[in-house]
A and B are shown apart, each in its own frame.
Chain A
């Protein structure tokens, strides 16, 4: 069964361990600006919201890529960026309506969540259970996908 990241903002304390873990796992540095998961801050309300790619079924990024650099990983269901194929044109970064594909100027390629190949470092690092990696059907994953479909009907 496919698993997915379950994000529960109400449990997030804004500690940013997930960003550090993601950056270190994927880029080899502790640099939150290179993290594929981001914690958004709502200062006035004292809230935090971790957010990253939901591996949506529409796969806007994948369809927009002109060189087939984004492909579905059959093991995880994630939409993986193949950095050796990506030319850095950034079309996927404007095509993704959730804002979860980003350009990394240092590498000249785009980066996005690939679920760390099936063992996401952010979920391991999260001390409060705000990010967990669970069976897709038991998560808000379906809810997120349903929302995606509802707010952005596929043409």
Chain B
């Protein structure tokens, strides 16, 4: 039996390791196309601010990690997939036959159709190679324009600002992190960044990037222009599904997978950023492109690839946590709320504190927080366990900070006559 995993990010690595454990005798091959050991893009910002060396971004810390486990780690680019013969074609002309295949090919930055995107001082911040290029240019005092203030834009923002660059952020939407934060939170993050010396233009587009002497000139659609030594583009990512063109395997935004993370071809599975799987909260298929989902997908795909029964994907909870120049924010599930539901909200603009809970009946279905670092995971727990809060819903409507107490009172035996707490 030969299990092949294409893509050496978190989903691929976790799947390969799980396959090895679940099928000790099978052949496991992990194919990655970057000239580095498997690494975490999540760790790139910390490499940019020199908190860690490159090795600190590596998913596994020892050079012989994969060899020792009998996982054949190969650097190769897959150029074609032929489901009929269960074969992959590699860029060097070689072929790789599989019995089961996991597509964990991830995603890549979208390149907005703007004149000047191909200039040498315009880059995305996605790979270690990008990060090295940025680290070499974004010296203290360098003028940097960041296009896009989504989740990825914001984690880079933090690193760029801490490097001492003079930073300007341009975001199309009318708030920061629009797909993770509501208006209140997204605009508080903007205010925070502005008060920390970062120029933020929301509701603004880049019309063109031009050469100006040795530097660049970024022309905005509000009639102004910003000079820059470096432009970093973080305008979103899209799944790497080109490999599937003409294979007949169903794709939409990503590769469509069922509750076993199986694609429309029974021998082919997909996991992580490339997979369009079930969202826990909506029950609908979507590409989440987040680390916890990639890890869940990787584990679960491996169990299904070896044919374990009961390895059913119940849907992943969409969630994110972000540190924007020291302001920590997180959101979970249906943070935007559900029609007919209730919301509890606590807001202190001066102190940058915010907590918003969204309920459907007496079940927590979504949450947004700013400035909360303690016990924040319980928001996920309450959402995913669909805990019926009973009387605690009223208490949370009054004081949303008591989520941990609500969780404990509803799930733990808190002593004799514990039911009085409900």
Residues on the A chain within 8 Å of B91, using CB: none
Give the interface centre of B296, B313, B380, B418 by most chain A CB atoms within 10 Å.
B380
B366-422, CB < 8 A from A: 373-381, 384-385, 387, 403-405, 407-409, 411-416, 418, 420-421
**Is residue B192 within 8 Å, beta carbon to beta carbon, of the partner chain?**
no
Q: Is the CB of A68 within 8 A of B59?
A: yes
**Is residue B100 within 8 Å, beta carbon to beta carbon, of the partner chain?**
no
Q: Is the CB of B61 within 8 A of A89?
A: no
**Is residue B335 within 8 Å, beta carbon to beta carbon, of the partner chain?**
no
Q: Is the CB of B378 within 8 A of A99?
A: yes
**Is residue A30 within 8 Å, beta carbon to beta carbon, of the partner chain?**
no
Q: Is the CB of B299 within 8 A of A94?
A: no
Q: Is the CB of B373 within 8 A of A105?
A: yes
B 38-78 to A, binary, CB cutoff 8 A, 1 in contact else 0 = 00101100100001100011111100000000000000000
Q: Is the CB of B384 within 8 A of A64?
A: no
Give bound CA distance, A97 to B411, whole Å.
12
Give bound CA distance, A140 to B319, whole Å.
30
Q: Is the CB of A147 within 8 A of B411?
A: yes
Residues on the A chain within 8 Å of B384, using CB: 97, 152
Q: Is the CB of A47 within 8 A of B415?
A: yes
| Cβ-closest chain A residue relative to B402 | A40
The SS class assigned to the A binding surface is mixed
A11 CB to nearest chain B CB (Å): 8
Q: Is the CB of B377 within 8 A of A67?
A: no
Give bound CA distance, A88 to B321, whole Å.
11
B194 CB to nearest chain A CB (Å): 21
B309 CB to nearest chain A CB (Å): 14
A36-54, CB < 8 A from B: 38, 40-42, 45, 47, 49, 51
Q: Is the CB of B295 within 8 A of A63?
A: yes
Residues on the A chain within 8 Å of B380, using CB: 94-97
Give bound CA distance, A96 to B414, whole Å.
21
Q: Among B311, B316, B377, B421, point to the contact of A45 (Cβ < 8 A).
A: B421
Give bound CA distance, A77 to B319, whole Å.
28
**Is residue B292 within 8 Å, beta carbon to beta carbon, of the partner chain?**
yes
Q: Is the CB of A89 within 8 A of B59?
A: no
Q: Is the CB of A93 within 8 A of B373?
A: yes
Residues on the B chain within 8 Å of A63, using CB: 14, 295-296, 299
Q: Is the CB of A152 within 8 A of B385?
A: yes
**Is residue A113 within 8 Å, beta carbon to beta carbon, of the partner chain?**
no
B275 CB to nearest chain A CB (Å): 13
Give bound CA distance, A152 to B415, whole Å.
23
One of B22-30, B81-89, B136-144, B326-334 contacting the partner: B326-334
B 283-315 to A, binary, CB cutoff 8 A, 1 in contact else 0 = 000000001100110011000000000011110
A53 CB to nearest chain B CB (Å): 11
Q: Among B42, B373, B414, point to the contact of A10 (Cβ < 8 A).
A: B414
Q: Is the CB of A64 within 8 A of B291?
A: yes
A 135-152 to B, binary, CB cutoff 8 A, 1 in contact else 0 = 000001000100100011
**Is residue A28 within 8 Å, beta carbon to beta carbon, of the partner chain?**
no
| Cβ-closest chain A residue relative to B330 | A94
**Is residue B106 within 8 Å, beta carbon to beta carbon, of the partner chain?**
no
| Cβ-closest chain A residue relative to B415 | A10
Q: Is the CB of A102 within 8 A of B296?
A: no
Give bound CA distance, A90 to B327, whole Å.
13
Residues on the B chain within 8 Å of A87, using CB: 42-43, 46, 51-52, 56
Q: Is the CB of B332 within 8 A of A94?
A: yes
Q: Is the CB of B320 within 8 A of A49?
A: no
Given contacts A153-B314, A155-B299, A155-B313, contact A95 B292 (CB under 8 A): yes
Give bound CA distance, A67 to B43, whole Å.
7
Q: Among A33, A88, A102, A140, point to the contact of B46 (Cβ < 8 A).
A: A88
Q: Is the CB of B377 within 8 A of A101?
A: yes
| Cβ-closest chain A residue relative to B380 | A97
Given contacts A89-B43, A95-B377, A155-B312, contact A42 B291 (CB under 8 A): no
**Is residue A24 within 8 Å, beta carbon to beta carbon, of the partner chain?**
no
Residues on the A chain within 8 Å of B312, using CB: 155
Q: Is the CB of B61 within 8 A of A85?
A: yes
A6-20, CB < 8 A from B: 8-10
A134 CB to nearest chain B CB (Å): 17
Give bound CA distance, A94 to B377, whole Å.
4
Q: Is the CB of A93 within 8 A of B321?
A: yes
A-B complex: 10 closest residue pairs judged by Cβ atoms: A10-B415, A99-B378, A97-B381, A99-B375, A66-B40, A96-B377, A151-B385, A87-B46, A66-B42, A103-B373
17 contacts between A and B (CB under 8 A): A10-B414, A41-B405, A60-B377, A63-B299, A66-B43, A67-B59, A87-B46, A87-B56, A93-B377, A94-B380, A95-B292, A98-B381, A99-B376, A99-B379, A101-B377, A104-B373, A152-B385
User: Which A residues contact B (CB, under 8 angstroms)?
Assistant: 8-10, 33, 38, 40-42, 45, 47, 49, 51, 60, 63-64, 66-68, 85, 87-105, 108, 140, 144, 147, 151-153, 155
